[in-house]
Structure 1
């Protein structure tokens, strides 16, 4: 019996050691090779800031200046409440002391400067498609914005989700850290659209159904589903008849510019916030996004719940 107990404890110890090794950020999400980067392009950084909707989540609520990235927004989820952090250039409360490598690793690998996993409520699962130079441009632009004092509270998560180390296990199962790879068989504008939609635009983060662990279900990518915050339903944006199947490229581009649909309705809710961001892009970028979305196959998303007549 003593020998059996020792063997059992040994297996438990080996299992825990294996878990800690495999979930180490340096193992499961080491980040891209950075090398020597050219000087940043501030204009490209501004475009990526708009495409990524950084202000939509990180601007301090209750004030009109969307360049004041003091954080504080609360994101509800089935796992608890995520408090969006300060990402202004403030050296104490924001990211003013971060180096370029710190920022790139956070955005592309979901790892903090202190070596801890970020929860995937921060969509590094999409931002990882952005190359180091693009992230360098983005950081340079963000450094031109106002420094804002104040820190958001800690996340309020239920056990065991409050154990940050288990995010390493989540990454092992669901995180693909590969960069964006253009399709040589497609046009330059199609590839630009694919990059903007899937990378900085992170459209799939809202427009896809998720499994019980919060990961996107690949078969429903961009086919709509429950709002991640539990506030309704996010529409299908593939070429399914319930999505954008009857829309033209020009109509999709117009929606991204003005928020108006082909039936002269206007979007509301969180999509209205997205339109404020995509409206800042060039006509060429909006058309590229529309070209890519129009090329997607029709995907049947999850069934939308019927409204209760009572």
Structure 2
């Protein structure tokens, strides 16, 4: 009987240890960012492409107010309501962080305290970013205004308020490569769409656990607000030319002389600041992506 109890205890310890290992945080190597020097001018373009101000800046504010990244925007979901945090360079934001901590947040979804971030923060896409671009973004964000506004806690019911389980979620959904591969995938456009601009986060449907259904990549999805849907932008539904798409990303005007609305207004506010070659690269990628009917 004693041997049986010891064996059961040993098995239990192994199960617990295995479970803790599976839900652990996975961070970058300690020296991954040590040799990187950020370029704030280059970081301004990463900031624009990523649309950071649309989630963290003052909604509907002036250009200066949009750059006060106090957060507080509500993101409704099937799992509860998430609130975007203060990411300004203040003590209430991320002013006390190091570049290493910022990089771990961006590409690993791990906080400086070693906790998992919820994937309402699109680190699934950002995990594909080059660390030099992360360093450039970090350098630019240090130049922005400070805000002392405290970050608002998320409003999530049990069990979604338990962050540890996100370790298992990451094992299932964190990508180990690009969605679109092969010679037909425009490299620059793929980097912008799949990583920095995280277009798939809105335009791709999700499964019951909130993971992207990549077989329907960019094929449209329900609007998280519950009003309407996010459109299918693959060639299976969007018949615009690459030039039409590039112009839309610059001006907000469609080929039918309509104008962008909803959250695309903020997206285009960012893409309009990019070099013309980058907008064309995004357009070329969208035209090359497999059609979803």
Would you say same fold, with TM above 0.5?
yes
Q: What is the rounded CA distance, in whole Å, between the counterparts of 1:213 and 1:153 in structure 2?
A: 24
Q: What is the rounded CA distance, in whole Å, between the counterparts of 1:298 and 1:174 in structure 2?
A: 22
- 1:257 is matched with 250
Q: What is the rounded CA distance, in whole Å, between the counterparts of 2:112 and 2:87 in structure 1?
A: 13
Q: List gaps (5 residues or longer) in structure 2.
A: none
Query: Are 1:83 and 2:90 counterparts?
Result: no
8 Å CA contact 1:194–1:292 kept in 2: the answer is yes
8 Å CA contact 1:61–1:71 kept in 2: the answer is no
- State TM-score, norm by structure 2: 0.91
Q: What is the rounded CA distance, in whole Å, between the counterparts of 1:50 and 1:163 in structure 2?
A: 32
Q: What is the rounded CA distance, in whole Å, between the counterparts of 1:296 and 1:177 in structure 2?
A: 19
8 Å CA contact 1:183–1:191 kept in 2: the answer is no
- 1:287 is matched with 280
Cα displacement string for residues 98-120 of structure 1 (whole angstroms, at most 9, x for unaligned residues): 11110111100000111110000
8 Å CA contact 1:196–1:289 kept in 2: the answer is yes
Q: What is the rounded CA distance, in whole Å, between the counterparts of 1:260 and 1:133 in structure 2?
A: 33
Q: How many residues align?
A: 290
8 Å CA contact 1:83–1:154 kept in 2: the answer is yes
- 2:103 is matched with 104
Cα displacement string for residues 72-123 of structure 1 (whole angstroms, at most 9, x for unaligned residues): 1111110001011000000x20001111110111100000111110000000
Cα displacement string for residues 219-267 of structure 1 (whole angstroms, at most 9, x for unaligned residues): 1111101123433200011110x2x2x2111001011011111111112
Q: What is the rounded CA distance, in whole Å, between the counterparts of 2:156 and 2:176 in structure 1?
A: 25
Q: What is the rounded CA distance, in whole Å, between the counterparts of 1:215 and 1:104 in structure 2?
A: 22
- State TM-score, norm by structure 1: 0.86
8 Å CA contact 1:50–1:281 kept in 2: the answer is yes
Q: What is the rounded CA distance, in whole Å, between the counterparts of 1:94 and 1:154 in structure 2?
A: 13
Query: Are 1:232 and 2:221 counterparts?
Result: no
Displacement of 1:14 in angstroms is 3.4
Q: List gaps (5 residues or longer) in structure 1.
A: 301-310
Deviates more, 1:138-147 or 1:33-42: 33-42
Q: What is the rounded CA distance, in whole Å, between the counterparts of 2:60 and 2:244 in structure 1?
A: 33
- 1:60 is matched with 58
Structure 2 matches for 1:1-310, cutoff 5 A?
11-25=11-25, 29-31=26-28, 34-61=32-59, 63-64=61-62, 65-90=65-90, 92-176=91-175, 178=177, 185=183, 190-240=186-236, 242=237, 244=238, 246-300=239-293
Q: Give the aligned CA root-mean-square deviation in angstroms.
A: 2.4
Displacement of 1:17 in angstroms is 2.5
